Amino acid sequence: MSRLDPEPTLHDDAARAGWLYYVGGLTQDQIAAELGVSRQRAQRLVSRSMAEGLIHVRLNHRIGACLDLEAALCQRFGLSRARVSPGLGPGADPVRAIAPAAAAELERFLRMPEPLVIALGTGRAMRGMVDAMDEIDAPQHRLVSLIGNIAPDGSASFFDVVMRIADKVRAPHYPMPVPVISPTPEENAAFHRLGPVQKVVELARAADVIFVGVGQMSFDAPLLADGFVTRAELDEMQAAGASGEVAGWVYDSEGRYLDLGTNTRTGGVRVEPGLARRAIGIAAGASKVPAIHAAMKSHIINGLITDEPTARALLSLT
């Protein structure tokens, strides 16, 4: 029986109210408006969420509507796994909604006893995931970056996450010691001929599971905002149909990587589409919908952690 438009249960409402209060930082008046209930009922729902253990830093009750969205995403896009967090309301940072779910998903792999190679992208969502993680002793695993860790000015890339995760899980870690984007293809090739770089590249290509952010290539593109591409380079790639990027590699609306622009100079390892290993995208927000959609269509990513509004927007696309 389909539950794509379920009647919310009392636990659903309590879990949602607790999420909006403790994670979203909304007042009880704002929660009442969001849920369409009185302020007194909103207050009781928030209290119930704590009293029944539905909220304890992370959301412990799986809201029925989110479960249905997860199932619909998996069916529509052939995903191996999807996790949908409740939205935090208009104007809220979607990273705050998805970071706890992303952290829980990564921790699930880190708690596995068999050794894994876990490859990681960068970005704001990835950094939010790390900030939401618990500390875990996981020395059996190896963590490797997919993307260079050197910014255009020679500094360490601000959103590189391998070092941050390693501090929390005490696992061997392998940063990618190359520029995120080199000035020329020749310099990029020279970096990749270095022995230590080749070893890290080989490890990244052998990853058992991948976690990546998904960046949009519109005029608010993270690559532009963070200084990795110029406006002229962004214009060139947009003219060629650029829709999104994963680990710095830009692709079009069908999820096909471009053979021009910064892709000729990007360091690290490209996430190849259609492989059997898990490749989990962590992204949410209206501006990212086209990029996420394209990455799922081509199976650059075969798993997704997002929020309700983004999931609904993705499912509304034909």
- Topology alike, domains 1-61 and 63-316: no
Domain ranges for the chain, please list them.
1-61, 63-316
- pLDDT tens across 240-268, in order? 999 999 999 999 999 999 999 999 999 99
Q: Report the percentage of the chain scoring pLDDT > 70.
A: 95
271 contacts 146 by C-beta, under 8 angstroms: yes
- pLDDT tens across 196-239, in order? 999 999 999 999 999 999 999 999 999 999 889 999 999 999 99
The pair phi, psi for residue 271, each rounded to 5°, is -80, 105
State which CATH number among 2.130.10.10, 3.40.640.10, 3.40.50.300, 3.40.50.1360 fits the domain covering 63-316.
3.40.50.1360
| Residue 2 scores a pLDDT above 60 | no
pTM assigned to the model: 0.84
Indicate the helix (H) or strand (E) that contains 179: strand 173-179
Q: What is the pLDDT of residue 125?
A: 95
Q: What is the pLDDT of residue 1?
A: 38
Average pLDDT for 163-170: 89
Average pLDDT for 122-130: 93
Fold of 1-61: Arc Repressor Mutant, subunit A (1.10.10)
Straight-line distance from the first to the last Cα atom of the chain, in angstroms, rounded to the nearest whole number: 24
Question: How far is it, in rounded angstroms, from Cα 237 to Cα 231?
Answer: 10
Q: What is the pLDDT of residue 58?
A: 65
- Cα dihedral 103→247→80→114 (10° resolution): -60
Question: How far is it, in rounded angstroms, from Cα 104 to Cα 132?
Answer: 9
